[in-house]
Amino acid sequence: NAGVTQTPKFRVLKTGQSMTLLCAQDMNHEYMYWYRQDPGMGLRLIHYSVGEGTTAKGEVPDGYNVSRLKKQNFLLGLESAAPSQTSVYFCASTKPGRETQYFGPGTRLLVL
């Protein structure tokens, strides 16, 4: 039981490049979330999904897209990376009716 895993752990991008961050969970959770953490800013919700095939915007969705084609996977895409997207990205999951979210180890992204 791996819990929540994230791929890759670290990535360097040039401005304008695209990439996809992968989140996978093996806990059969319906709800999944993508957050970013910046120094002094706490965790801010980017997008979330309450089930396969559904996604919704969070607090800071601009510049990101997401897809939930399978229940266990939640993908975060950057179509054209910008230096402002340099951050640590965390994925989390939970079950409906449960407030406790389980987090992955994070992906550190540097956009030059």
Partner 1 sequence: DQQVKQNSPSLSVQEGRISILNCDYTNSMFDYFLWYKKYPAEGPTFLISISSIKDKNEDGRFTVFLNKSAKHLSLHIVPSQPGDSAVYFCAASPRVSQGNLIFGKGTKLSVKP
Look at residues 90, 98, 103, 85 and name the one whose alpha carbon lies nearest to residue 14. Answer: 85
User: In Å, how far are 37, 84, 99 from 78, measured between CA atoms?
Assistant: 16, 12, 28
Look at residues 87, 80, 92, 17 and name the one whose alpha carbon lies nearest to residue 47. Answer: 92
Q: How far apart are CA 101 and CA 103, in angstroms?
A: 6
State which of residues 19, 22, 43, 60 lies at the interface with partner 1 (CB under 8 A): 43
CB 35 within 8 A of CB 59: no
State which of residues 18, 83, 105, 112 lies at the interface with partner 1 (CB under 8 A): 105
State which of residues 61, 63, 77, 106 lies at the interface with partner 1 (CB under 8 A): 106
Task: Give how many residues touch partner 1 by CB under 8 A.
Answer: 27
If one asks whether residue 50 binds partner 1 (CB under 8 A), the answer comes out as yes
If one asks whether residue 4 binds partner 1 (CB under 8 A), the answer comes out as yes
For the bound state, the minimum distance from the C-beta of residue 87 to partner 1, rounded and expressed in Å, comes to 14
**Sites of contact with partner 1 (CB under 8 A):** 4, 31, 33, 35, 40-45, 48, 50, 56, 58, 90, 92, 94, 96, 98-106
